[in-house]
Structure formats: C-alpha cells, structure tokens
C-alpha cells in the first residue's frame, strides 16, 4: 500500500463528503481537475514573482483539490476514460509548470546549482510517472515506490512554504530517481513473471 493509498483510506469519509459538496456546487470531475491545474499555474506565477509563501499556499490548495476529482467521478459526476486520461495529463503538466517556475526563479538569481538540481528533480519525477504509465500499457500495475507524486508534491509545497525550495528539490532529485529505479526493477520482475506464466 502506497502513502497515497494510506491517506485516501484515512480520510475516505472526509474526501467523500467534500466530493459530494463539490457535486452539489455543479462541478464535475473534469472541472475539478482543470481548476486544480489552473491553481498550479497561478502558484507558478507567484514563484516567478518571488512570492514563495503564496505559491506554496496556492499549490497546497490545488494539491488538496486534486485529491477529490477521482471521488467526484466515482460519485457519479463525470466518470469517464477521458476524465482519467485528462487527470493524468494535467497531473504531469502541474508538476511541469511548478518546476518551470522554479528554474526561472533560480535563473534570475544566477543560481546555476539550483537550476541543475531542479532539472534532475523534474527528470526523476517524469521517469517515475512514465514507468508506471508504460507498465500499464504492458499490462502490469506499478504503484509502489519511495517518492510517488503525493510525496513529491508535499515535499515541494513544504519547501515553498518555508521559502527554501532548494531543500525540497534536493530531496526530490535524490528520491524521485531512486523511485524510478525501484519501479524499473519492479517492472522487470513483474514482466519476467508474466512471461514465465505464459509459457
């Protein structure tokens, strides 16, 4: 069970209640997904302006909102394969825009080390998600790993809130890439088992 699964289990009742409230407001799963993405774009604008605390707050609220779109779909407000595809796509773009903002934030400060760390962190994050997506296309489910999307966002948001984004980025650069390797090894094991079962 991943950290994300643990959180969803612990707060299942609260998440369902808020999801039903969002449905009563007339929101669908897709609209919740899009609003969360727009929130991350706004957070990026604040990063570019150097307002890291505001960026952390807005990114945190957007992250919370992202926790509800799946439940909104399950409760009957817009569940579809396209909705799932949209959610996954905008999740990747949400990370992309935040890292994009941080790269330019550090460039303005002539902090080349932090730019490099941001690039490595972003690369690790993309690989973690890519390996899971590729696994899905091959018929294997790879959700496990040390730093899934929730962990990465929590670390990044906290580092923005304390106005020390480099701390979070260093952690993501290290542990996201470790997670990518973990998932690669899990994928190799599952695929080998699948081949043996098919023989």
For residue 8, the domain's CATH number is 1.20.120.1760
Q: Is residue 174 part of a domain?
A: yes
Give 11's DSSP letter: T
What is d(CA 68, CA 61) in angstroms, rounded to the nearest whole number? 11
Q: Is residue 94 part of a domain?
A: yes
Q: Is residue 108 part of a domain?
A: yes
Q: Is residue 199 part of a domain?
A: no
- What does pTM read for this prediction? 0.88
pLDDT for 45: 97
Q: Is residue 15 part of a domain?
A: yes
Q: Point out the residues of the chain with pLDDT beneath 70.
A: 1-5, 7-8, 77-79, 198-199
CB 56 within 8 A of CB 158: yes
Q: Domain total for the chain?
A: 1
pLDDT for 143: 85
- Tens of pLDDT, residue by residue over 168-181, are 999 999 999 999 99
pLDDT for 193: 84
pLDDT for 162: 97
Rg of the chain taking only CA atoms, in angstroms? 18
Range of the domain at 174: 3-194
Q: Which residues contact 29 (CB under 8 A, 6 or more apart)?
A: 69, 70, 72, 73, 77, 78, 79, 83, 87
Q: Which residues contact 72 (CB under 8 A, 6 or more apart)?
A: 19, 22, 23, 27, 28, 29, 32, 78
Locate 146 and state its tokens: 């040390």
């Amino acid at each position: 069970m991943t950290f994300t699964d643990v959180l969803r289990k612990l707060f299942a009742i609260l998440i369902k209640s808020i999801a039903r409230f969002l449905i009563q407001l007339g929101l669908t799963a897709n609209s919740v997904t899009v609003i969360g993405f727009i929130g991350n774009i706004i957070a990026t604008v604040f990063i570019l302006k150097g307002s890291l605390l505001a960026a952390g707050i807005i990114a945190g609220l957007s992250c919370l909102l992202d926790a509800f779109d799946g439940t909104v779909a399950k409760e009957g407000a817009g569940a579809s394969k396209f909705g799932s595809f949209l959610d996954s796509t905008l999740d990747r773009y949400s990370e992309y825009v935040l890292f994009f903002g941080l790269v330019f934030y550090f460039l303005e400060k002539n902090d080349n080390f932090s730019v490099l760390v941001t690039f490595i962190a972003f690369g690790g994050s993309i690989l973690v998600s890519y390996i899971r997506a590729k696994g899905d296309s091959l018929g294997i489910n790879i959700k496990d790993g040390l730093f899934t999307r929730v962990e990465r966002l929590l670390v990044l948001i906290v580092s923005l809130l304390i106005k020390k984004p480099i701390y979070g980025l260093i952690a993501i650069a290290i542990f996201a890439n470790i997670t990518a390797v973990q998932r690669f090894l899990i994928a190799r094991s599952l695929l080998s088992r699948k081949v043996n079962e098919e023989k």
